[in-house]
């Protein structure tokens, strides 16, 4: 495609520009169908990534003077919207707090305080899935909010962060009446490539974003530069025309069309990917849960939501967050663990993983402790793994479409090297340099799936091809589709 065609800025009428427009609009409608979203009720705005999508919503509401409610499991990018909320913000520390709010229609038991919050426009945001430990949150909150007393007292819109969720689950927006008003996501979480994001806008709510003050190239029909008579005319067509600032990433969006074709050909559907990845995660979780030192101490402390079940994909994603203890019960540092994993060809993620609420809750850190840690020198990613007897972060592994049973076996073999080890002893010299390498990381296909050339793990596993393509082969296939 790239070799045979010339693509130009879509904000023009030249042949190359019209070709870019055609490619972009094709991808827009194909991705809406991928998420089962009817174009009659939804629009899709291409942005740089999920964070850009979240920020776009905040910029649209900022001038309305909105109050902001967000769930404690929120990614840092969702938490950041509280700085744009003029009226103030509230963190819901549990699902039960959200349920209570939806039932009573009041944010606080103090009625006067609740009224002060609810007199302006509101935004309630939460993740479909915790990016820390994969716990999945209720997807029916937007529908319940529209019927609740909370909505009756003012215009409250919903923002769903689906970035982590879409990596190994089917986002289903087929019922527009129950769908979130705004849904943020990144496509690399699904396909590995390209690095493009999107904001899916429910058309019934999209008008609130059009009041933002900023405007970029391509979003206006006319602009007058004047000190005393400055004026602009925002595009009045589809929402994406008024919200996609500047030149869209049309080469990346062109690759998105190719990625869709390759993904469908290899895996069939996201439902297949979900069952496959969930099957592997449950197998690993069951085995990790049973690992102990010979003195009976557990090797792994796994941070799982109280309602999450690795055998129920509605409540849990194929993600495991944990830390490791030695045979004396001392924490083995996450950075040290990652160093050993890297030596053995295993890719994973460690640290605070941009989830401050989850880290604080599962590691038992109060706000005062977190401030003290900061004052004593802790910074994100600076290698300090433990303070005052508590870990400062977690270790996270995940599965996706390209993972297989050999990844589970390799990681379990690696974990067993920690059994009966003491924290003070060097594990690097004793770590086994496996010939079978595993890759367990984010749920994006480019880095998390491990080798994919083995036989299917079970007849219960929906991805049952005898030999699944390796990562190199997949990128070769994508490049071939792009370049032809």
To the query of whether residue 300 is one of the catalytic residues in this protein, the response is: no
Say if residue 295 is exposed, middle or buried (CB neighbours under 10 Å; 0-12, 13-18, 19+): exposed
Say if residue 81 is exposed, middle or buried (CB neighbours under 10 Å; 0-12, 13-18, 19+): buried
Which run of H or E residues covers position 62?
helix 50-62
Measured distance CA(336)–CA(394) in Å, rounded: 12
Contacting residues for 111 by C-beta, under 8 A, at least 6 apart: none
Could you give the 3-state DSSP secondary structure of residue 367? helix
Could you give the 3-state DSSP secondary structure of residue 349? strand
Catalytically annotated residue among 91, 258, 354, 380: 354
Measured distance CA(123)–CA(121) in Å, rounded: 7
Place of tokens 């990381």: 441
Q: How many beta carbons lie within 10 A of that of residue 140, not counting itself?
A: 10
Q: 197-202 and 220-224 as β-strands: parallel, antiparallel, unpaired? A: unpaired
Could you give phi then psi for residue 221, rounded to 5 degrees?
-95, -25
Question: CB-hemisphere CA count at 13 Å for 113?
Answer: 7
For helices 471-483 and 250-267, the axis angle rounded to 10 degrees is: 130
N- to C-terminal Cα separation, the chain: 5
Measured distance CA(326)–CA(302) in Å, rounded: 15
Catalytic residue list: 354
């Amino acid at each position: 495609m790239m070799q045979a065609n010339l693509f130009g800025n879509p904000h023009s009428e030249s042949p190359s520009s019209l070709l870019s427009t055609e490619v972009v609009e094709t991808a827009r409608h194909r991705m809406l169908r991928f998420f089962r979203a009817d174009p009659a009720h939804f629009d899709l705005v291409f942005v740089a990534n999920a964070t850009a999508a979240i920020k776009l919503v905040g910029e649209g509401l900022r001038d309305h003077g909105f109050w902001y409610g967000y769930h404690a499991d929120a990614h840092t990018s969702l938490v950041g919207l509280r700085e744009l909320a003029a009226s103030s913000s509230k963190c819901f520390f549990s699902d039960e707090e959200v349920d209570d709010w939806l039932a009573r229609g009041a944010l606080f038991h103090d009625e006067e305080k609740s009224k002060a919050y609810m007199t302006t426009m509101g935004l309630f945001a939460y993740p479909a899935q915790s990016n820390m430990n994969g716990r999945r949150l209720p997807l029916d909150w937007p529908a319940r909010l529209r019927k609740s007393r909370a909505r009756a007292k003012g215009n409250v819109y919903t923002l769903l962060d689906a970035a982590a969720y879409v990596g190994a689950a089917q986002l289903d927006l087929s019922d527009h009446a129950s769908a979130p008003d705004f849904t943020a996501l990144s496509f690399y979480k699904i396909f590995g490539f390209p690095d493009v994001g999107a904001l899916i806008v429910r058309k019934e709510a999209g008008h609130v974003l059009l009041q933002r003050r900023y405007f970029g190239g391509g979003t206006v029909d006319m602009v007058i530069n004047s000190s005393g008579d400055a004026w602009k005319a925002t595009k009045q067509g589809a929402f994406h025309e008024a919200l996609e600032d500047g030149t869209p990433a049309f080469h990346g969006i062109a690759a998105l069309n190719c990625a869709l074709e390759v993904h469908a050909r290899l895996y069939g559907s996201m439902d297949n990917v979900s069952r496959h990845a969930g099957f592997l995660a449950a197998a690993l979780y069951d085995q990790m849960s049973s690992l102990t030192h010979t003195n009976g101490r557990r090797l792994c402390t796994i941070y799982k939501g109280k309602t999450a079940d690795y055998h129920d994909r509605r409540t849990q994603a194929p993600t495991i967050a944990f830390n490791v203890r030695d045979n004396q019960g001392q924490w083995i540092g996450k950075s040290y663990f990652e160093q050993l994993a890297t030596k053995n060809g295993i890719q994973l993620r460690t640290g605070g993983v941009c989830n401050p609420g989850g880290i604080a809750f599962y590691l038992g850190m109060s706000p005062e402790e977190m401030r003290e840690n900061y004052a004593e020198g802790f910074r994100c990613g600076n290698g300090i793994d433990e303070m005052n007897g508590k870990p400062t972060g977690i270790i996270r592994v995940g599965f996706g479409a390209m993972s297989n049973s050999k990844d589970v076996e390799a990681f379990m073999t690696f974990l067993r090297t920690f059994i009966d080890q003491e924290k003070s002893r060097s594990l690097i010299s004793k770590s086994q340099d496996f010939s079978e390498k595993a890759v367990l990381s984010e749920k994006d296909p480019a880095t998390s799936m491990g080798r994919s050339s083995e036989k299917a793990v079970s007849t219960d596993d929906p991805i049952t091809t005898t030999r699944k393509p390796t990562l190199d082969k997949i990128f070769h296939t994508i490049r071939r589709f792009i370049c032809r």
